[in-house]
Structure 1
Amino acid sequence: MVIADDEWLIRERLHQGFDWTELGIEVVGTAADGYEAISLIKSEAPHLLLTDIRMPGLDGLELIGVAKEINPLLKSVIISGFGEFEYAQKALKMGADDYLLKPIVDEDLIYTVNKLVHQIEIEEKEKREKEDNYLLKVILGEQKAEEHAFNQLGLKGKYAIVCWESEQENGPQMNELGVKSFEGGILFLEEAEQKQPFFQQLDGYFTDNKIVGGCSSLSGNYDDLPNLYKQALMAKEQNKFGPALGCLFHEHTQSPINMEEVFLYVKENYQQAITLQSLAAKFFISDSYFSRVFKQQTGKNFIEYVTEYRMEIAKDLLGYSSMKSNEVGSAVGYTDQRYFSQIFKKYTGMTPSLYRNTNKKV
């Protein structure tokens, strides 16, 4: 809290006359006028402002207006004389949260401050939950990280992701390391480059507590978070084969790919959006490794394989059903009819309509 009043005696009474610490409040500074208060608000970022309404230079009304521009969430209480009631009403319209009349009654001041502290705690909790939900969505790849939104999280240094089998309730509890813990067995670690002892102890922690888990590499780019999560999953999967492999991610240690499972997945999901990235994530392997192995074993890249599979299905539907061309496109995973026609013509040399007229079967 910041206290602002031009009268020294009142300022000191407000500061020293109450056990603010017992109320969970730290007074980070006192100011004799509005300008000093603004300087404190900029440097100390308080949650609460307690200010007299009449001060030289920048009065309480002007102070609240400027303070709200600096921090819209700042709570403020105006202290006014009985004859200044109209000013107090104006202060409420400008964003003040409450007002007190002089002479100040101790119980009224404590009640008002406690009420605002409770509001602040609720807002802070809601803000943290919103930020954590946003961060989790970015980690899971469900939402793209936006610079302005991510900067508001105030995260520092390089990041790392740790995950473990979610049904194991005895997962790592390391809040002293500045981590965020999420349901489903996910830990987000910031300033990871300064916490090397943590990584050295992680293998032993998982082994001693019989936890199957994994840890990603480090990155300072928030766009890498989905990839770090995938690395942690990959490391977790390889950790299942035995503690000798360790729980730290290594690019050269890859999970084996069962090509029959890949073919079956395409067969069962060709109507949906299928990308190399999504399938690699399903098998907990890197995009580059999956692409390389698929090309080695099939002689074609993954997108070519999916496209050919869809086109063969589309040919059958055009030849043996009464479905319209746009319905056929949707049925094989294309929401854009024009794009489907372009791909089909490139593959068969004919438009869907011409192919149907030429190859219509009984």
Structure 2
Amino acid sequence: MLKLIIADDERVIRESISSLIDWNSLGIELVGTCRDGIEAYHMILDESPDIVMTDIRMPGLSGLELIERIYQADMDTQFILLSGFGEFEYAKQAMKYRVHHYLLKPCNEEQIVESMQDVIKEYYHRQAFQDLKERQKALTANLHHSIMGNIINEQIFKSDPAEYSWNAYSGFMDFYHTWYELCFLHYLEETYLNSILSLIYDYMAEHAPGIELYCIYVKNSLILFFERYQVSYEEFDVFMQSLTPKELLFQLDYKRITFQSLNQLLEVLITKIRRYGIIYYMNGLEPVPTCNYKNLITKIEQLTASLIETDGTELKPRLEELTAALNDISNTDFLKQACSRILIKLATETSYLSSVDTTEYLMDLNQQTEYGQIRYMLCKKLNEILKKSSTRSQRYSPFIDKIIHYVEDHLGDPNLTLKCIAENHLFMNVDYVSKRFSKETKQKFSNYITALRIQKAKQLLAEGHTEQIQWVAQQVGCGNNPQYFSQIFKKSTGMTPSAYAKKLNGGE
């Protein structure tokens, strides 16, 4: 339930309003009434109400002054102003604090309920919008961290700085125009890593919410880098310099460097860390090691590249070579990294994997702890890609190509059928078209269009449309039937659309 506070210096008015309305029926809990602005201010700080109904003129602290203070405190509180007729122009000043709800005294029950319903509707609309932004941010953060880990793993084995290239990832992150900060904390023993890193995460969450923090640990040195978010970092530097554990008899060595772009930062960072045998890329508080198996990495890179460049009958032996190379990896964490490198390379350099598919798959992969299961999952995915690649490399009959393009252009049509396409657009016999479609694409038309609709739905859900399941159903051709959409989605993915979106966004 939403929490409400009523503030008015006239006892009759505040008691009348509090007792006049059945607040429970509106989904509201009345947590208190206040006789002046100061009392209201303190109660707001204590109770954190969602809605405050306040008189505009009160002793000690006026309604406008109360709103200004709460606005400056950055509390997400909705206000309804009570004002006399002569105070209405004065009340308009509150608009700069996003207050748009007023009640002129005297007001009746119907007016209060109507105004309250407007505020409730606006509150939930804002909440839904905020949830959407948070889900999109979580998805982007997951993808950015996977890409950054992959870049570091990829680049540390290149000896020539001229070989640095971020073009494959430039569609996901800005490497050239955004300033970054790079920080070093030397002489930090692994025993204290988690406690120090927890303090840093807490500081960033409080002072720089929304800024992604990337962390690397190499041989008693913690390295942090993040997008520049303010001009002065004096307070941040003081905080970092204060992190030395009490048990240590010496001061941790702290240093911060500013870079005008991410690519400049990465070139310096990779040059510094590539000499270490094991490099830990931090996934929260979990260190993910990169072992310096240079020859093996080079071989996997070459085989992945050849897999991308090859088609037809050569695909299968290339895949077998790549699988054999993966068998040489005995470390579970390193195998995960190799899998991540392969899949992100396929996602960035081919059309066989979308960013949504890649993020979803990497999240599943990172949850695995058994070597055999990780290897099985990757081989299964590579075989799926191989099959898709082989299918796409085939030359379809011209009319089959027309069917595929027509379906892609009209996927949102709930009445889309092969019969309709064959008779009205190809002017061919539907039985013949159906047999040829199955023969050339190796699948029935119904399976093909369902798979296409599920893929489109995944993309829309990943973009944040999780509160609009009915709309998503319409966009992918399931009409005004979200139940049918949920059924085919669950049959294909093993979970409902809502559950899939939660999983994709880290289970939040």
**Structure 1 length as normaliser, TM-score?**
0.44
Bigger relative contact order, structure 1 or 2 (CA pairs below 8 A, ≥6 apart):
2
**Structure 2 length as normaliser, TM-score?**
0.32
- Which one has the largest radius of gyration? 1
